Amino acid sequence: GENVEQHPSTLSVQEGDSAVIKCTYSDSASNYFPWYKQELGKRPQLIIDIRSNVGEKKDQRIAVTLNKTAKHFSLHITETQPEDSAVYFCAASIRGFQKLVFGTGTRLLVSP
Amino acid sequence: EAEVAQSPRYKITEKSQAVAFWCDPISGHATLYWYRQILGQGPELLVQFQDESVVDDSQLPKDRFSAERLKGVDSTLKIQPAELGDSAMYLCASSLGLAGPTDTQYFGPGTRLTVL
């Protein structure tokens, strides 16, 4: 079936460093790629998304890049802060189905 | 800001018992999703509604799980009987329903189920 692989599963950085999380997808027809942040005990919240007609999107310290040829996309967080600590999930839309498939998540820990 | 509501937030039950979860989507959202999130994994879609109709329930274990959205607004997910392996977070999400999977999905706080 269609799947989304996400790496790394855990990521520890020092405050101020950059963090990069990568996802690969299998469905060449996928055209929508959101990223969700889930803090401990809270609901997943959309932080940024990208559609297949663009290669990069940026929102302040967060950016997402998409390589359709290689079928992978990445989340970039610059100048990380302790409040960025959370689990981040990527997802991809699935052709023929009105649904998203999620990655397994990356636990980001930003140390002061 | 409108949010998806879910209840209860926590549920502890014994195996073979019946449990039910409730979800109230953001007003005006036509699409409603139920996800199961096992600890350490991403959300997995169980069932998707467009208004009151089921769009996708291919991953719903229909021998024990059922879901309904009778008036196309709020929804109930039921498990009967519950099994130990059902312990997980059950998340509800909703979206406007205008653009299919590219609509932004807004999640509720979830119901954490523990089956003893």
Inter-chain residue contact B91 with A31, CB threshold 8 Å: no
Inter-chain residue contact B91 with A44, CB threshold 8 Å: yes
How far does the CA of residue B101 sit from the closest CA of chain A (Å)?
Answer: 5
Q: Chain B: residue nearest A42 by CA?
A: B109
pLDDT band at A108 (very low <50, low <70, confident <90, very high): very high
Inter-chain residue contact B101 with A32, CB threshold 8 Å: yes
pLDDT in tens, A7-62: 999 999 999 999 999 999 998 888 899 999 999 888 999 999 998 888 999 999 99
pLDDT at B68 over 90: yes
pLDDT in tens, B5-40: 999 999 999 999 999 999 999 999 999 999 999 988
pLDDT at A97 over 80: no
Q: How many interchain CB pairs under 8 A, A with B?
A: 59
Q: Which residues in chain A have their CB less than 8 angstroms from residue B104's CB?
A: 34, 46, 49
pLDDT in tens, B36-66: 999 888 999 999 999 999 989 999 999 999 9
Got the DSSP string for B36-103? EE-TTS--EEEEEEETTEEEE-TTS-TTTEEEE-TTSS-EEEEESS--GGG-EEEEEEEE-SSSGGGS
Q: What pLDDT is attached to residue B39?
A: 87
Q: What pLDDT is attached to residue A78?
A: 97
Inter-chain residue contact B45 with A99, CB threshold 8 Å: yes
